Amino acid sequence: MTDSSKPGWRSRLVALVEHPVFLNFITGLILFNAVTLGLETYPLDAAWFDIALPVVDAVIVTVFVIELLLKMIAYGPRFFRSGWNWFDVVVVGVSLFPDAGAFTVLRALRILRVFRLFSVMPEMRKVVEALMRAIPGMGAIIAVLGLTFYVSAVMATKLFGASNPDLFGSLGGSAFTLFQVMTLEGWAMEVARPVMAEISFAWIFFLVFIVLTSFAILNLFIAVIVDSLQSKHFDDEEERGEKEAAEAHAERAELRAALSDLRAEIAALRGEVAQGMRSASASKARDSDA
């Protein structure tokens, strides 16, 4: 195959893997695979059930492998420049390991194939990308939360450890108890009131801790994620605007080139007409002389 024919078949292959029908088929197959993997958790005693599901799973994995191979051929080296393509390769590659021996634990990781919805659905992909962009900002908040937890756990152990050793007997136990308080799950009846029965002013500690963690620091996570989503939206809008501006510039350049060609053709026609008129005048002059 000659080099001149490569762009043709490769562009057709790219059009195939990016066609809405192809993408919808892969999306539906991922959803169907999620159902079949969930059915494996049900204790059904039907013999056909144990035979059919592995066959269906093998067919689905084969289709996924063929899809990735088609994309690798279509995009060439560009395929490996996308983090989502690497994600697909890893998720599908896990399914190719055998289900016996040292790889038995990987059988449970097959459900990760459902996460391929992130790579095939643009809206979900935008959300995940926004979350990934929010990680650096979330790191500072996690550090503040960890420091708050450490200081609070040390204080709780010293203040309430003697009267409530089951809840605050050690640093680790205090941290776990305070995590329960932060989630607001049974914190009043299971933690605060038993401690207040021994130490009356304990409510001050718990209220300050809840305000700092549940209401303040955790809401900072939401603020960072929302800001990242907005930044991602603005970046997409800016990228779309730049793309539209580039397309408009290209169209204007083509229009200017077409007008320039038209002017050149008109000038050539005028020259031909003038030349014809001069030739006719010269002929008439020769006829009159004769």
Nearest-angstrom CA–CA distance, 109 and 247: 44
Which tens digits make up the pLDDT trace of 195-244?
Answer: 998 898 899 999 999 998 888 888 888 888 888 777 766 766 777 777 77
- Higher pLDDT pick, 212 / 103: 212
Q: Between residues 285 and 68, which one has the greater pLDDT? A: 68
Residue 279 has pLDDT above 80, yes or no: no
pLDDT tens string 59-90 = 988 898 898 899 898 888 888 888 888 888 88
* Domain 125-247, architecture per CATH: Orthogonal Bundle (1.10)
- Indicate the pLDDT class of residue 129, thresholds 50, 70 and 90: confident
Distances in Å between the Cα of 202 and the Cα atoms of 191, 208, 215, 242, 274 are 10, 10, 19, 59, 106
Look at residue 104 in the predicted model and tell me its pLDDT.
58
Quick one: pLDDT at residue 138? 80
Residue 19 pLDDT > 90: no
Q: Within 10 A of 174 (CB to CB), how many other CB atoms are there?
A: 25
The Cα–Cα gap between 165 and 234 comes to: 52
Q: Which two tokens stand for residue 160?
A: 């309430």
The mean predicted confidence, pLDDT, of the chain is 81
Cβ atoms < 10 Å from Cβ of 35:
10
d(CA 249, CA 179) in angstroms, rounded, equals 57
User: Model confidence at 112, in pLDDT bands (50, 70, 90)?
Assistant: confident
- Domains 3-120 and 125-247 belong to one CATH topology: no
DSSP secondary structure letter of residue 199 = -
Is residue 127's pLDDT more than 60?
A: yes
CATH 1.20.1250.20 fits 3-120, yes or no: no
> Domain limits of the chain?
3-120, 125-247
Give residue 110's pLDDT.
72
* Reported confidence tier of residue 268, pLDDT bands at 50, 70, 90: confident
What percent of the chain stands above pLDDT 70?
88
Write down the pTM of the prediction: 0.56
